[in-house]
């Protein structure tokens, strides 16, 4: 039986951890079996990877689906990393309100782009960066060191700075079929019985 309640799915390997069992913030949602790999300490995911996240100010969330693979050093940059673009200066005066005798909300210092949403069966490569407001579709692959500034379609491979489409993994017809099938929502028994097909061995 797969033990989705384990912290380390490979007991001999402490570099991989199931995120659902280690995140503490109520503003981070993670599906079953999604993992983070870190050469030093995957238990430090929130501090090292979820950056500028002030949900009690912005009410923004990180949502990660099931069966996602997140490589070492991936970063999720939230709205607190932004600076406002609509004013004369990008300097975050509201953050330094006490220094300037201001009485304005700190959120006036940045543009709020919204949540980061990662679908199911997504692979996020080494040191990739995902910006606030981005949605990554099911089955997508984010290349190493990519900076993702826009939504990524399901079963697409993107890479570069900023990330651009490299290619689709399958035909449009096949993608539609896979999205309808949504194997990640099957029971563990059904997944186990179809592993050869899921892994492309049949």
Q: Name the H helices within 78-129.
A: 97-100
Contact between 131 and 147 (Cβ < 8 Å): yes
Q: What gap in Å lies between CA 92 and CA 110, rounded to an integer?
A: 7
**Run of H or E residues at 175:** helix 172-181
Beta-carbon-side half-sphere exposure of residue 155 (alpha carbons within 13 Å): 14
37, 53, 83, 145: the active-site residue: 83
**Dihedral over alpha carbons 12, 5, 67, 177 (to 10 degrees):** 140
Contact between 158 and 142 (Cβ < 8 Å): yes
Residues 6 or more apart in contact with residue 22 via CB below 8 angstroms:
7, 42, 43, 45
Is 37 noted as a catalytic residue in this protein? no
Altogether, the residues listed in the chain come to a count of 202
**Run of H or E residues at 193:** helix 188-193
Structure tokens at 33: 């079996």
Q: What gap in Å lies between CA 33 and CA 102, rounded to an integer?
A: 46
* Positions marked active-site: 83
């Amino acid at each position: 039986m797969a033990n989705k309640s384990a912290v380390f799915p490979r007991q001999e390997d402490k570099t991989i951890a199931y995120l659902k069992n280690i995140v503490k913030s109520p503003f981070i949602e993670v599906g079953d079996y999604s993992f983070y790999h870190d050469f030093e300490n995957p238990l430090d995911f929130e501090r090292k990877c979820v950056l500028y996240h002030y949900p009690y100010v912005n009410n923004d969330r990180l949502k990660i689906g099931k069966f996602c693979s997140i490589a070492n050093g991936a970063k999720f940059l939230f709205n607190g990393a932004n600076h406002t673009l609509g004013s004369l200066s990008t300097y975050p005066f509201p953050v330094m309100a006490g220094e300037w005798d201001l009485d304005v909300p700190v959120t006036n210092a940045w543009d709020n782009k919204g949540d980061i949403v990662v679908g199911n069966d997504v692979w996020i490569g080494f040191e990739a960066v995902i910006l606030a407001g981005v949605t990554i579709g099911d089955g997508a692959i984010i290349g190493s060191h990519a900076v993702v500034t826009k939504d990524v379609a399901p079963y697409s491979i993107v890479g570069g700075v900023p990330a651009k489409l490299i290619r689709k993994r399958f035909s449009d017809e096949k993608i539609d079929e896979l999205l309808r099938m949504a194997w990640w929502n099957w029971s563990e028994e059904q997944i186990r019985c179809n592993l050869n097909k899921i892994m492309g061995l049949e």
